[in-house]
Structure 1
Amino acid sequence: MTALQLPAGAFDPAVRELLNVLIGSWREGFVQVSCFVGATILLFSLVQYRFDGRLTELLEANERTQPLVGALLGITPGCGGAIIAMPLYIRGTVSFGTVVAALAATAGDSAFIILALAPEAAVYAYGLAFVAAILFGYAIDLWGLGVGRVDAAVDRIGRPMTDGGFATTSVADGGPSVPGYDGPDYHDHGNGLPSYLPQSTLMKRVSHAAHVLWWVVLAGALVAGVMYLAQGAKEPIWEVTLTYDGLFTVAGLVGTTLSFYLYFVGKHYIGEGETGRVKDSFRSLYATFQHAAMETAMVTVWVIAGYLLYEYGLLLSGLDIQGLGAGAGVLAPVAGALIGLIPGCAAHIVFAQLYAVEEAIPFSALVANAVSQDGDALFPLMAIDLKAAIVATIYTTVPGIAVGVAVHYLWPYAQFGFGVL
């Protein structure tokens, strides 16, 4: 992370370092992650708008293909495809095996870095993740694989956010039941404002304006994000100019700020008070863009939280990731899979950079992480059914370890630098 040059003597060195991490994460999260998430969510939302819900109906009517479709959603670069699958499970449209397949197949936004800097490694790593996701998804739907026992164990740890169970053989066998969810078109349209927000026509207009500006900023962030990957994921300098570095800085800071506003304030005024849901259809093209913006804003909030947790964790612990990777042996893919338990894309973007830029971790660890990590797709599920999210991420870690260890022992190019340009 490129340091922001704060005024000399203005802060204590320790405070300066903490602020550098905070502001740096605030800038980088939107350009490195959210712009790609927003683009893919918008793409799927536009498809949903164009076909007026018929695709969801088709998926619901063909249960046998659901894990395959889930894996196909997950394998698309970024997290947008897998994010689409999470609300479908919450409303009972797809099985739990489909959720696991989508999460296991996704490589999150770290996929953009590997595709740009190590395309050959990306083909093999994500291909293995795709196959593992399909097999494991169908195995869960057909045989359960102990989902009920893990579900009960998680339930004993803490009270679930919903009272829903898991669909193991079919959706009809016990899909989740979300209190307050009244059917396919349910949405909170801002009628019940939280206590900290006033009834205000002005705030509604401001929120709509913020929404429109958010898309303008996202377009700029997408340009900066593509340029960032094209330049080998090299961190830009801090400046506000008509250059790539200036676009990265301004789009990142403004985009994240607008996302926080839309998530905590704006969504309550412009008709998307509940995020993490999916609609069969959208009443207008504007509503389609609005839905995609609100979903991405929610992901952005979680992404920034993940960035801060990871960066502050490294700062306080002083861990040497490169040294650990070099001496880990077969524990490297195990560690890669366990890192996959971390929700969001922040840690995994760093993980991808360690592989493609620093060549500090072996290919087996990259594969294990690709299978295990859930990217930002886990956040909508966490927001609505925390218990389902915990069980799902456990069930993507198991094939991650298995595939990663197998690659370590059997793959002839399983060491450092495979496929890196």
Structure 2
Amino acid sequence: MNELLDVLLASLRDGYVQVSAFVAVTVLAFGFVQYRTDGALISAIEDNERLQVLFGGLLGLTPGCGGAIVVMPLYVRGTVSFGTVVATLGATAGDSAFVILALAPEAALYAYAIAFAASVATGYLVDSVGLGVSRVDAAVARLSPAARPDGGTAVNGGVTPNPAHDYCGPAPTHAHETGPDRRSRVLTPLSHLAHVAWWGAAIAGLVLGTLYLLRGGPEVALEVGVGFDGLFTVVGIAGAVLSLYLYLIGRHYVGEGEIARARDSFRSTYDTLTHAAMETSFVTVWVLVAFLVYEYAVLLTGLNVATFAAAAGVLAPLGGAAVGLIPGCGPQILLASVYAEGGLPFSALTANAIAQDGDALFPLLAVDARAAVVATIYNFLPAVVVGVALDLLWGPVFGLAEFGFGVL
């Protein structure tokens, strides 16, 4: 029981400091741009159909998952193509990017450039051929007429509204404006206080998370104190608990009350901060679920993903791509750390960079599971092709198959 409790507390702590604090910064950055430009960023993406895939790839390329998270709600409401989703998720390196950028910047430059090119090309191919979710729905309907298709987003002849997700009309800016009165003498001020405390934890978590990465991702003891390990634990667990509160309760009393949705504009700086906190809290919950499933699977079954991915030869990029199928950033950070220690060839790192979706997959998985699964499959295929090609064709020539390529 003590070991199970330790896994729970460590997952709460690591999920917040290693992932959520960085997600918060990137989501806030895009939100602040939206606030200062009155929605010009999202409007530019939505209005330029031919460049949507390229824009999606660029947003996914930003370290962390904030840029990619911005795109997912746009697909849900039917204003960007499915190829844009594929390109965004494929180019996303998630929070593992921070590890590689800090410890192997040269490898990061090559790996993420290759991932960006492969993902954008795949995204344009998906749109041009018409391989959107609607095509999958049609195939499923033929196999099982009783199956209920989710609609997807049309990609032939332009982007059209997603029939399964009707977001027409202005979105409510606050939960109090629609439905029953959710004001409370206790929960409303408590939720605002939790929101402010959450940002305090996010700032502290960002500092601690940056120091953690600069130190090479060391083992951090689960303890309470004023030292690095103690603050890492206290801030991480506090931030995770606050995230759970904001997601389960606080969002009904602070902010718009809905999650996994893009905002066209923001009324104030506080409104922008609220949106970023709620979106990050939503991602945090899913990250914690992924961390717990992964950690308990390792604890109860003895599964060692890193050892599998470190297999020699052509199995290395296949293993890297397979790890990329696991949602969330935890396993990807682990793989990046193994690479930085010289335990993986560059081909495995690149295959993982293409196949992984980071935390950006969670919002899409929650509201459109079929689209999330199809996008993951579409990114896994080029990940395997590029990874194997790097290992067999270009690796021996340019040294890209070497273990520890580009590590400081």
Task: Give the TM-score normalised by structure 1.
Answer: 0.89
Aligned residues of 1:228 and 1:234 also touching (Cα < 8 A): yes
- What's the secondary structure of 2:163's corresponding residue? coil
Q: Find the counterpart in structure 2 of residue 223 from structure 1.
A: 207
1:44 aligns with 2:44: no
- Deviation readout 1:268-326 (Å, 9 max, x if unpaired): 11133210001111121111100000000011111111111111111222134454344
**Against the structure 1 CA distance between its residues 272 and 126, is the aligned structure 2 distance closer, same or farther, given a 3 Å change threshold?**
same
Q: Find the counterpart in structure 1 of residue 361 from structure 2.
A: 378
Residue segments in structure 1 that go unaligned for 5+ positions in a row: 1-14
1:27 aligns with 2:10: no
Aligned residues of 1:27 and 1:253 also touching (Cα < 8 A): yes
What does 1:185-224 correspond to in 2, within 5 Å?
Answer: 185-186=171-172, 189-190=175-176, 191-192=178-179, 200-224=184-208
Q: Find the counterpart in structure 2 of residue 8 from structure 1.
A: none
* 1:122 Cα deviation from its structure 2 partner: 0.8
How many Å separate the matches in 2 of 1:154 and 1:315?
37
**Against the structure 1 CA distance between its residues 50 and 394, is the aligned structure 2 distance closer, same or farther, given a 3 Å change threshold?**
same
Amino acid at match of 2:154: A
Aligned residues of 1:151 and 1:391 also touching (Cα < 8 A): no
How many Å separate the matches in 1 of 2:228 and 2:80?
42
Out of 387, 394, 402, the position equivalent to 2:370 is 387
What does 1:86-101 correspond to in 2, within 5 Å?
Answer: 86-101=72-87
Out of 297, 303, 306, the position equivalent to 2:281 is 297
Amino acid at match of 1:144: G
- What's the secondary structure of 2:186's corresponding residue? helix
**Against the structure 1 CA distance between its residues 323 and 263, is the aligned structure 2 distance closer, same or farther, given a 3 Å change threshold?**
closer
**Against the structure 1 CA distance between its residues 154 and 286, is the aligned structure 2 distance closer, same or farther, given a 3 Å change threshold?**
farther
Q: Find the counterpart in structure 2 of residue 286 from structure 1.
A: 270
- What's the secondary structure of 2:125's corresponding residue? helix
- Deviation readout 1:233-292 (Å, 9 max, x if unpaired): 112233333332232111101000000000001001113321000111112111110000
Q: Find the counterpart in structure 2 of residue 54 from structure 1.
A: 40
Per mean C-alpha deviation after superposition, the further-off stretch among 231-240 and 69-78 is 231-240
1:77 aligns with 2:60: no
How many Å separate the matches in 1 of 2:310 and 2:191?
49
Aligned residues of 2:357 and 2:376 also touching (Cα < 8 A): yes
Q: Find the counterpart in structure 1 of residue 256 from structure 2.
A: 272
What does 1:322-361 correspond to in 2, within 5 Å?
Answer: 323-357=307-341, 359-361=342-344
How many Å separate the matches in 2 of 1:241 and 1:19?
19
Amino acid at match of 2:353: A
**Against the structure 1 CA distance between its residues 324 and 387, is the aligned structure 2 distance closer, same or farther, given a 3 Å change threshold?**
closer
Aligned residues of 1:140 and 1:147 also touching (Cα < 8 A): no
How many Å separate the matches in 2 of 1:241 and 1:356?
29
Out of 241, 252, 259, the position equivalent to 2:236 is 252
Per mean C-alpha deviation after superposition, the further-off stretch among 110-119 and 49-58 is 49-58
Per mean C-alpha deviation after superposition, the further-off stretch among 272-281 and 163-172 is 163-172
Aligned residues of 1:95 and 1:170 also touching (Cα < 8 A): no
- What's the secondary structure of 1:201's corresponding residue? coil
Per mean C-alpha deviation after superposition, the further-off stretch among 23-32 and 321-330 is 321-330
Out of 364, 367, 370, the position equivalent to 2:347 is 364
How many Å separate the matches in 2 of 1:365 and 1:353?
13
